[in-house]
Amino acid sequence: MNYHTPATVEEALAVLHEYDGRARVVGGGTDLLVETRRGLRRPFDAVVDASRIDGLRGISETDGYIVIGCGVTHTEIVNEPLIRSHGQCLAESCGVIGGPQVRNVGTLAGNVAHALPAGDGTIGLLALGGDVEVAGQNGTRWMPAKDTFQGPGRSHIDRQRELLTRLRFRPTGDSEGSAFHRVMRPQGLCLPIISMAARITLANDGTIGRVGIGMGPVGPVPWFAEPVADALVGSPPLPEHFEQAAELALRHVQLRESKYRATREYREAMIRTWLPVILATAAERAGASR
């Protein structure tokens, strides 16, 4: 019934407070529109468009982080040299979302806040160890992006009363690299069968010093594969170690069946095939950045 375009965070929070749970924050609104038209979600009394809030439409490097405003679209992330150079897996993951029209409107903040297990941009941000900033009536707080997810479409961010304002991650530097890959059906516009991203830091002796891995859909929420990452630390970046990492990942994930997308066995095969490749690519880029 009502569409609001606040110019400030304070104005957006005031509108949400006024509607008391009967309004919904959107970035591009691409997911909400589809769900509402399909009858999966009731229409809200009001929509609060966060894409025009002053100061939240840009990408910057601040206090050792690359910071992305909630109004930044996927296309803007893909085209941003700062992210292509220092967060390559995020640029790659945002570059395969939907089609050009969706990427021109949809936002990474909306991708995270919507909490789908298979959000491609989310997977890239998780691998980079990203954080999100949430604003509410009691102030703002930063929290790890991986801690925002409760289940499919369910987030710790109250999208009827809070606003995801910014996202951030530490840029990759010397001896660091990242990579992303998505397995999808040929038509390309449906949700992925599996998406995976990795960030690798090489130690001075050439072994793996630090790893971040994001993966989905492998359960009710995107997975920040800490057991796999921990197992790789201290190992040389060799193919056999990356293959062992894929097997370890399969022991921890809860892959599901989907008659529309893929069987559990097919998803297992794709993890075995592509996770070693992604890890090797990230390690190769880390070596090249020395």
Residues 4-63 pLDDT 10s: 999 999 999 999 999 998 988 887 777 777 777 777 667 788 889 888 898 898 999 999
- Domain presence at residue 83: no
The pTM of this model reads 0.92
Q: How far is the C-alpha of 277 from the C-alpha of 74, rounded, in Å?
A: 24
- Each residue's pLDDT tens digit, 225-278: 999 999 999 999 999 999 999 999 999 998 888 777 788 999 999 999 999 999
Q: State the total domains in the chain.
A: 1
DSSP state of 160: T
Sheet holding 139-144, edge to edge: 59-62, 65-69, 163-169, 131-136, 139-144
Whether residue 3 is contained in a domain is answered as no
Question: Residue 262 domain-assigned?
Answer: yes
Decide if 14 is inside a domain: no
Assess if residue 275 is contained within a domain: yes
Residue of 37, 213, 25, 38 lying closest to 126 (CA atoms)? 213
In a domain, 242, yes or no: yes
Indicate whether 10 belongs to any domain: no
The CATH number for 221's domain is 3.30.390.50
* Structural domain for 252, as ranges: 176-288
Residue 205 lies in a domain: yes
Q: What is the pLDDT of residue 16?
A: 92
Instruction: Tell me what pLDDT residue 260 has.
Output: 74
- Report the 10 Å Cβ neighbour count for 99: 9
